[in-house]
């Protein structure tokens, strides 16, 4: 499997699409600094405050740039038809699927670290680091760690969808769609004036968002959050592997 991962990293290193999410987030940080600087109220006043915002919005701001990764990692297997080279050469379908998932996870974690790290760096340069309450670093690392666990499941969902839908334009719509789920649930609940918090318990992105304030969560919420993430991770991984094992390779 290491050979597959090595080869895929060689391949995706040749594509500008791989670097686009990093560039987009870097631009976003710079833009936010400009916006923050000219803002009358000064929305961001420190690096720590900006990072807090980034954690809060990670379920969308960070998740959105993951879409191009899917197009680098797994989509060419279908769009370029290269999967037949892998399968016909005797590559195990399970190995193939798991390796794509691992590559997606590695890229996503790198991007996540960049998302938070670059944000903190840029904001600290512009506004200064700010006040770090006692235990700040531990809280931050806990929140990042918990969100990264959620990102694993998000990667699994995305890779599963790419193997299920195959067609790039359908996949784009589906991936964009899943990022809209929390907003959609909130919108529907406010429209019909119902409490949607229980529904949001089962939403992956809402759990990632919730982990932004990990240190404030009670153990039951944390347990439910990790439970939901584990279910998404396992369900989509098993479904994806099963799908590929049974698929006719075109």
Partner 1 sequence: MTVLQTKNLTKSYGGKVAVDNVSLKIEQGDIFGLIGQNGAGKTTFMRMITSMSRPDSGQIELFGATTPAKLTAARTRTGSVIETPALFQNLTAEQNLEYYRLQRGITEKNRVQEVLGIVQLTDTGKKKFKNFSLGMKQRLGLAVAILGHPDFLILDEPTNGLDPTGIVEMRDLIKRLSQEGITMLISSHILTELAQVANKYAIIHHGRLIKTLTEAELHEECKRALAITVDDTAKAATVLETTLNITNYKQVSQNELRVYTYLDDPAEVSFQLSQAGVRVASIQVVGDSLEDYYTKMIGGTKS
Q: Which of 37, 85, 183, 242 binds partner 1 (CB under 8 A)?
A: 85
Closest contact distance (angstroms) between CB of 95 and partner 1 is: 10
- The answer to whether residue 7 forms part of the interface with partner 1 (CB under 8 A) is yes
Closest contact distance (angstroms) between CB of 102 and partner 1 is: 14
Task: Please choose, out of 84-92, 165-173, 180-188, 228-236, the segment that lies near partner 1 by the rule CB under 8 A.
Answer: 84-92
- The answer to whether residue 218 forms part of the interface with partner 1 (CB under 8 A) is no
List binders of partner 1 among 89-108 (CB under 8 A). 89-92
Q: Which of 208, 243, 244, 249 is nearest to 228 (CA)?
A: 208
Closest contact distance (angstroms) between CB of 25 and partner 1 is: 23
Torsional sign, CA 29, 30, 35, 41 = positive
Nearer to partner 1, 15 or 190 (CB): 15
Rg (CA), the chain: 19
- The answer to whether residue 169 forms part of the interface with partner 1 (CB under 8 A) is no
Nearer to partner 1, 10 or 137 (CB): 10
Burial class (CB in 10 A: 0-12, 13-18, 19+), 5: middle
- The answer to whether residue 6 forms part of the interface with partner 1 (CB under 8 A) is yes
DSSP letter string, 175-233: HHHHHTHHHHHHHHHHHTT---HHHHHT-HHHHHHHGGGGGGS-HHHHHHHHHHHHHHH
Structure tokens at 149: 């666990």
CB 121 within 8 A of CB 114: no
CB 134 within 8 A of CB 40: no
Binding marks (x or -) toward partner 1, 17..56, rule CB under 8 A?
A: ----------------------------------------
Closest contact distance (angstroms) between CB of 162 and partner 1 is: 16
Closest contact distance (angstroms) between CB of 109 and partner 1 is: 22
- The answer to whether residue 197 forms part of the interface with partner 1 (CB under 8 A) is no
HSE on the CB side for 33, CA within 13 Å? 19
Nearer to partner 1, 90 or 134 (CB): 90
| Residue carrying structure tokens 């809209």 | 180
Helix, strand, coil shares, percent, the chain, to 5 = 80, 0, 20
Judged by the rule CB under 8 A, the positions of this chain that interact with partner 1 are 3-4, 6-8, 10-11, 14-15, 76, 79-92, 248-250
């Amino acid at each position: 499997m290491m050979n597959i991962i090595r080869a895929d990293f060689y391949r995706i290193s040749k594509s500008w699409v791989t670097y686009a999410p990093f560039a987009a987030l870097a631009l976003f940080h710079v833009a936010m600094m400009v916006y923050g600087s000219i803002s009358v109220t000064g929305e961001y006043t420190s690096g720590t405050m900006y990072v807090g915002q980034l954690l809060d919005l990670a379920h969308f701001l960070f998740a959105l740039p993951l879409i191009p990764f899917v197009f680098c990692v797994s989509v060419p297997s279908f769009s370029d038809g290269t999967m037949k080279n892998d399968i016909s050469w005797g590559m195990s379908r399970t190995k193939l699927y798991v390796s794509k998932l691992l590559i997606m996870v590695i890229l996503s974690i790198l991007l996540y670290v960049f998302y938070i790290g670059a944000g903190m760096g840029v904001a600290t340069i512009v506004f200064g680091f700010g006040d770090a309450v006692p235990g700040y670093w531990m809280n931050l690392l806990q929140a990042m760690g918990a969100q990264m666990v959620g990102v694993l499941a998000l990667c699994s969902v995305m890779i599963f969808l790419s193997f299920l839908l195959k067609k790039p334009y359908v996949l784009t719509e589906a991936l964009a769609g899943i990022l809209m789920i929390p907003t959609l649930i909130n919108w529907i609940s406010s429209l019909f004036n119902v409490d949607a918090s229980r529904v949001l318990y089962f939403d992956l992105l809402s759990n990632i968002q919730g982990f932004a304030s990990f240190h404030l969560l009670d153990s039951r919420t944390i347990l439910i959050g990790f439970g939901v993430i584990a279910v998404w991770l396992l369900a989509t991984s098993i479904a994806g592997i099963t799908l590929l094992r049974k698929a006719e390779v075109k």
